A and B are shown apart, each in its own frame.
Chain A
Amino acid sequence: MNRISSVVLLLLLASLALILGLAVISLAQPSSGIGQLVNMQMSNSGVDHPVTAVLLNFRGYDTLLEMAVLLLAVIAVWSLGSRSSPQQTPSNHSNPILLALFRMLTPLMIVVAGYLLWVGAHAPGGAFQAGSILAAAGVLALLYDQRLAGRLSSWSLRFSLILGCAMFVAVATGVMLGGAHLLQYPLPWAGSLILLIELAATISIGLTLTALFYGTSTGERP
């Protein structure tokens, strides 16, 4: 790229930055926002933490679509891969630090994931955070021995991947049988339904992110 076009590009970007900065500053006036409204409706949501209530109840439709996006990403990554060949996968059994880390951290990570899932109802936490810790445990396992990916039978793997999205859709449409609208949880069951959805979502998210890592690191599909 020659000098003139790079100078022109810098000028254009600087003016864009100026315009966006002015727009952002004009938006930053203290205003009443929606936090007050959410706090008033918290008793109707079934959980005690506002972010979890927004994610799983008030804007549950967006989270449903996000689970579908994750599923779509796994399908796309797998469709670009080749059938896995069982022979040339290496294993890092000889690395003592990796072995020690794997044995100490993996059970700890599973416990931490379970705690984050449970505590998401009344403190920072929830399905996505817990699912990402499970994914970290999965990545550590794959780094230790890639053949571990073959241990999960293909049917149980695929079932667990769709479990989160399927459970969410099932609950979202199941409440319609009682006469409510889509995703309108009946109030006495809201907390337990949210926990059920989050449990399925945690397992799904952990496995999906691990599957994405597997697809990127080997280019194969299980």
Chain B
Amino acid sequence: MTSNSLLFFFDALLVVTLLWLAWQSMSSRDLFRGIVSFIAFGLLLALIWVRLDAPDVALAEAAIGAGLSGALLLTALSRLESSAKEKKDE
């Protein structure tokens, strides 16, 4: 196999995994799993930016899109679930 077709298979694999992670992040029953899939989605997207020769975008995506966004979503989820638990204890 030429290296060109191998790289194409690599790109295709990245795309398939990206779409699968996006699907998982929205549709998984447990919201925590969904958010972790979203963080993985962001990191894979950062890898794709490197593949597309966009290193600045890769830096920004990994730090802001995956890291900070994931942190925001996780703290929001913990506040949502703690208030739900308080409601149940009442």
Chain A residues in the interface with B (C-beta under 8 A): 51-52, 116, 124-126, 128-129, 132-133, 135-136, 139, 209, 212-213, 216-217, 219
Contact = CB atoms under 8 A, between A and B. Distances in A.
A51 B56 contact: yes
B75 A217 contact: yes
Given A128-B60, A132-B64, A216-B76, 18 more contacts: A51-B56, A124-B55, A124-B56, A126-B56, A129-B56, A129-B59, A129-B60, A132-B60, A133-B63, A136-B63, A136-B67, A136-B68, A209-B64, A213-B68, A213-B72, A213-B75, A216-B79, A219-B79
Given A139-B68, A213-B72, A132 B55 contact: no
Contacts of A136: 63, 67-68
Given A209-B68, A216-B75, A132 B56 contact: no
- 6 tightest A-B CB contacts, nearest first: A132-B63, A124-B55, A217-B75, A129-B59, A124-B56, A132-B64
Chain A CB count within 10 A is highest, among B56, B68, B72, for B56
Contacts of A132: 59-60, 63-64, 67-68
A187 to B, nearest CB: 24
B52 interface: no
B15 interface: no
B59 A116 contact: yes
Interface residues of B, number: 13
A216 B59 CA distance: 24
Contacts of A125: 56, 59
Interface of B: 55-56, 59-60, 63-64, 67-68, 71-72, 75-76, 79
A203 to B, nearest CB: 16
A136 B60 CA distance: 12
A116 B55 CA distance: 12
Contacts of B79: 216-217, 219
Nearest to B73: A216
